[in-house]
Structure 1
Amino acid sequence: MSITDIYKRQAAAALEERTKLVAELRSIEADQKLSSADKRERVERIDRDLIRLEAEARDAIERGEREAEVRALAEKAGGIVLPNSGAALPGESEEWRSLLPSGSDFRALVAESSPGSGGYAVPSKTADKYVEHLRAASVFLRVPGINVHRFDSGSFVLPNLTSSTTPGVVSEGAAIPEGTANFAGLTFTPIKYADLYRASNEVLDDAAFEMRNLISGVMVRNIATQVDRDAFQGTGTASLSGLTKAGMGTAVNLATGNTVVKWDHIIDGFSDIEAAGAVPGVIWASPDMGKALRKERENATTGGYLAGQVTDPVTKAGLGLPIYVSANLPTKTVIVADPTRIHIGVRSDVRVAVSEDFGFDKDLTAFRATYRVAGLAVDTASAVQVIKASAS
């Protein structure tokens, strides 16, 4: 069996395992017996494995292609070959290497004391894992009920009923007056979030852990964090229009002296959403207000927690609504909303691409992540109550 065949088998095995995980992911999403927390935990674990398997398959394919190219060049040069002096792949002991070896056969010097030269990634002893803290899930998109519209054009318009006439009482035999309905359009035009990293092939080959997965994880985390921040605070100029932007929701600015959002204010927002014919479904809070809400008690500091007893999910819910805390919200801010009245368009999911042409003369590999998401829109401003505590 040739070396290229071995690489093909490695790639096929990784892709086959990935297919099984995709099937498992679908079964988890369809399992009604699992709680949302269990589903989220399993989905996150499978996502990590999917990224790892994709990287393994991609690496095997790239190595196979490089090997085939080198052998083709060697044949043109007269077919001169040298014995393999490096570590052999399984079943490769009888193979011979071309006079022009593949990129993985070369190793430039790495200055172990210099971080810029890979010292942190390729010292004499490094653990075979990196700390798994890279994939920051979006607190905004994590909420069930938000309308995510996928489309395949330059932009798209979502019709929105803005008003209609009120039916009245009609006498027997009288003509029924014709009603009118007024529509407007919520226009979604995609914008692109992108991230780019590069690394030397020496570091990629010699790192004690899977550097490709690390870089991919960093880029996905960066994009998720930025989209999350813009979904709450975006100005609409070269970014999404965030929920705290004027006109996206109903702003409730507390009077001087009200430096903390309390449950009384949440209940007011809850009632205002119901009055608009919507159903409250989520509470988003900045970290400082999340702490205050969760610790608010009866009779000042002597009674029970208003959100529930400590044996209840006090840190997760209040008034029957899930509480999501995000550092991407402005300080002193709480949002109570009906998530079904919030819309976001997705033109293309996060894509991670790898190129060996970038920095070819320096033997560098480039990693690029892109995500095209269309403008955030709220079809009923009163369904999103943005409560802002006073600064003093």
Structure 2
Amino acid sequence: MEKYMNDLIIIGGGAAGLAAAVAAKRSAPSMQVTVLEKKDKPGKKLRATGNGRCNITNTALATAPSTIAFFESLGIPAREDSEGRVYPFSESAPGVAEIFTDQLKVLGVKLQTNAPVRAISVEKGCFAVETEKKLFLGKTVILATGGKAGPAYGCSGDGYTLAKALGHHVTKTLPVLTGICCEDLPEALKGIRVKGKLSLICRDKVVFSEHGEVQFTDYGISGICVFNLSRYLKYLGEEKLEPYTIVLDLAPERSFAAMLSSWRRDTVLGEKACVDAVSGIIKPPLADLLLKQANIKEKRKLSELSVSEISALDGHLHRLRFKPVSTMGFKMAQCTAGGIAAAEVDGKTLASKIVPGLYFAGEILDYDGPCGGYNLDHAFNTGRCAAEAAVAAILQGDHHV
């Protein structure tokens, strides 16, 4: 088997790995840096992120100015939208991936594609990283393999296996930023979009709330606020998701109790069937579900309702309930919750506290943020941080395994 000696081996050519490679060569142009990517080209997941627009950071993050400056140094100016999300001015995720790939060539980074890593070990004071046909020896290694979310892009969780082989522990991993499957949703809801306040309740406690748009699908619910809610949906032992309820407030800004009471007394509107009356407030398929949850028959006249039933109608406009069964899993998830145990990683340098010369970057770490550029920003910044720390350790002779 052919052997290749390197100063730094970066396992994974995604957002974190690409940023790490650029940062390392900029810090020390003479160092031998190699990126090992399992797919046929780097940045597979990066090319699809942000619906193809590449949401690189968010202005709510303290690291946003540094991320924007880094991208500008690559020749990628940025633009900000009204909600603080930052995109490359071109809004082209594939274009960003190509610029990174071109930058690797310019800087002299060795890029090995179609090179999944089979094993990693420590031999004679250096790392031995084995692919199918080659053995790469390195003074330092950055594990930037991603998590399990998006297996179509090569994210299989293999980095966790490599980390475990070197003595690290991995916290429980779960798919997040994904749609949620709900039980007993009427088929008529499929395709409907509504705005409101979505909340997650666990044992009578509100653990998450966010305003946004909810989209009903053939499996349950989707949308940005649903994706963000999925970060708080944890499987609780044998109970699984039983303690959870998702509540949708369809009118967080107002009450309809007085209006419904007025309609009930009106000689014309009071003759309306309840389903028709409520359909004047919300979309008809939702009206059907609301009346079912309020235990009010659809065809009853509004004038026949009691004061308490009118109150129940208004209450359910603010408390439409859904029972989560599962998430859509890693196949559809944008991110992985869990990863390399934080206690085993230096928070400043991303260096392993167990194996000298080993570093971590990106989704392999135990971090997950909401939609809006948080996770890509984390990938780019941990990649750069780990690379700069690895280079500094080599230059100071402090990298010995």
Give the TM-score category using the shorter length. Answer: under 0.3
Structure having greater relative contact order (Cα 8 Å, sep ≥ 6): 2
Q: Normalising by the residue count of structure 1, what TM-score does the alignment of the two structures yield?
A: 0.24
Query: Which structure has the larger Rg?
Result: 1
